[in-house]
Structure 1
Amino acid sequence: MNRSDKVNEIFKALTKFRENVKQPVKDKKNPFFKSDYVTLEGVQKSIDEALKDTGLSYSQIVSDSEKGTSVSTIITHESGQFIETGKLTLPPTKNDAQGNGSAITYARRYQLSGAFGISSDIDDDGDKASRPAKSNYGNTRAKKQYSNNAVDAKKKLFDGFVVLISKKLNSDVQTVKSQIVEQAEKKPEWSNGDSNVKAMIMLNIAEAMKKQVSTNK
C-alpha cells in the first residue's frame, strides 16, 4: 500500500467518514449464487453521501496485464495526504468486452467496499456452507459470501470441468484437481484470501484446460 509521508489529517477525516456512513441496502439479486448484494452504484452512493464535509475524495485506476484486469483505489484528502490500495487483479470469465467489463466492475466494487468499510455482500453468518481457512483480513464471518446453494453450484461446475479434462487426458480426477490447485496458488491474487477470487481463478483454469485438451484432440 502506498501512502503520503504524513497521514494524520486523512486518518482524522476517515474517522469522520465512519461516523457519517450508512451501510447501503442489499437490493440486487445474484441469480446464480442466489444471494443479495449491493451494486457498484449503490456502494458509490453510500460513500459519496458520507464524504461530505470530510475533505476526502477518491479515484480508481484500471490497468490490464496478462493475468487480467487490475484495479487500485486512491483515497485523497484536501491536505494533500493520500492512501493508495494495492492492485486487485481478476481474470475475465471471457476475453471479450463484456467479460472484461464485468471483471472491472467487480474489482471496482470490492476495492471501494474494502477501502471504505462498506458491506456490499450478504453475511450468511459464517456458517452452513464450507468453512474456509481464516484469511489475513481477520473476521471470516464478515468475509463469508457463499450460501450452501452457491457453494454447491460452484463445486458442480468445477467438478464438471475436471471430469471432462480427466477423460480427455486419460488421467484420474484427483491428479487433475491437484494440477489446477497448484496452478491457481501461483497466481498473485490468490493470496488475498477472497473466496470469490479463488473460485474465479480455479474455474478459469479448469475451463482453459478443457478448451486446450479439446483443441489438442
Structure 2
Amino acid sequence: MHDQNYCSSETTKLAKALIQVQRTLQPATKDRLNPFTHSNYATLNSVMDSCREALLTNGIWLTQYPVPSEPGHLGLVTKLVHAESGEWQASHAVVPLPKNDPQGLGIAMTYIRRYSISAMLGIVTEEDTDVNVPKDSGKNGARPKRQAVANASRESSLQSPPPITPSLPKLDGITYQEITATDGQVCIVATGNTQSKKELLAGAGFKWNPQRKMWWKYAQAS
C-alpha cells in the first residue's frame, strides 16, 4: 500500500524512468577532503553533476525545499516528479543545526541536500563514517578493529598506489589519471588534447561526460 505522504497513488511510470536514471548515472567524484576525518567526500556539486543529466533526460524533476521543524533543527523535503505522468516520490529528513544562525542553516542545508539526493537515487558519496567511532564503541572491540583495518588499508594504498593499466592506448598529447568514484570503483580520466582523439578514446571504451567535459572509463573495463 502506498504511503500518501511520501508518494503518489501510482508510481509505475516514475519507477520505470528511475530505472533508466540508475542505469546511466555518472560516478560522483570525491572532490573534497574532510580535514577532521582525513577522508574524501563528494560535495553537493559533485552529487548533482552525477545525476542531473540522467534525471533531465528521463523527464524527472528534482526539487528540494525546507519545511517547518522543531526548534534547532532543519527539515527538508526532497521530491522526484515524473513530468509526463505527474507521479512523484518524496522523502522528509530532519537534522540538528550546528549553529542557530544563517551560517548554521546553510551548512545543514548543504549537508542534508546531498545525503537526501544520494539516498533517493542510490548514489554512494562518502567513506564509511563507522570507522571514525571512539575506541570504546561497539561490542567486544569490534569497531576499533574495523578502524585499524581501515587505517591499514588507507596507508597501504598511499604507499603503493595501483598502476594505471598498460592496456590503455598510447596517444600523443593524452595522459591518464586514476580517480576513485563514490561507488568505490577506480575510474580512469583521459586529459590533454582529447578533442582530436575522441574517436580513438571512444573505441578504447572511454565515455564523454558533458557536465565535467572529460573522457572517463572504469579501470576494470580496461
Per the normalisation by structure 2, the TM-score is 0.55
Alignment of 1:61-80 (within 5 A): 61-65=65-69, 66-78=71-83, 79-80=85-86
Q: Where in structure 2 are there 5+ consecutive unaligned residues?
A: 149-222
Paired residues, what number? 135
- Counterpart of 2:95, as a letter, is L
User: Structure 1 or 2: larger helix share?
Assistant: 1
Tell me which moved more, 110-119 or 59-68.
Answer: 59-68
The structure 1 segments of at least 4 consecutive aligned residues displaced by more than 4 Å after TM superposition are 126-133
SS of corresponding position for 2:76 = strand
SS of corresponding position for 2:57 = coil
SS of corresponding position for 2:124 = coil
Q: Which residue of 1 aligns with 2:36?
A: 32
Deviations 1:41-82 (A, max 9, x none): 111111102224211111001124314111110100021100
1:32 Cα deviation from its structure 2 partner = 1.1
Alignment of 1:138-217 (within 5 A): 148=147
1:29 Cα deviation from its structure 2 partner = 0.6
Q: Which residue of 2 aligns with 1:95?
A: 100
Percent identity over the alignment is 31
Deviations 1:82-106 (A, max 9, x none): 0011x21111111111111101111
Taking a change above 3 Å as real, the CA distance of residues 128 and 31 of structure 1, as seen in their structure-2 partners, is: closer
Deviations 1:181-211 (A, max 9, x none): xxxxxxxxxxxxxxxxxxxxxxxxxxxxxxx
Residue among 49, 53, 65 paired with 1:49: 53
Per the normalisation by structure 1, the TM-score is 0.56
Q: In angstroms, what is the RMSD of aligned CA positions?
A: 2.7
Residue among 76, 79, 83 paired with 2:89: 83
Q: Which residue of 2 aligns with 1:195?
A: none
Q: Where in structure 1 are there 5+ consecutive unaligned residues?
A: 134-143, 150-217
Whether 1:111 and 2:116 are equivalent positions in the alignment is: yes
Deviations 1:104-156 (A, max 9, x none): 111111111101111111248x76866769xxxxxxxxxx9xx949xxxxxxx
SS of corresponding position for 1:102 = helix
The structure whose Rg is larger is 2
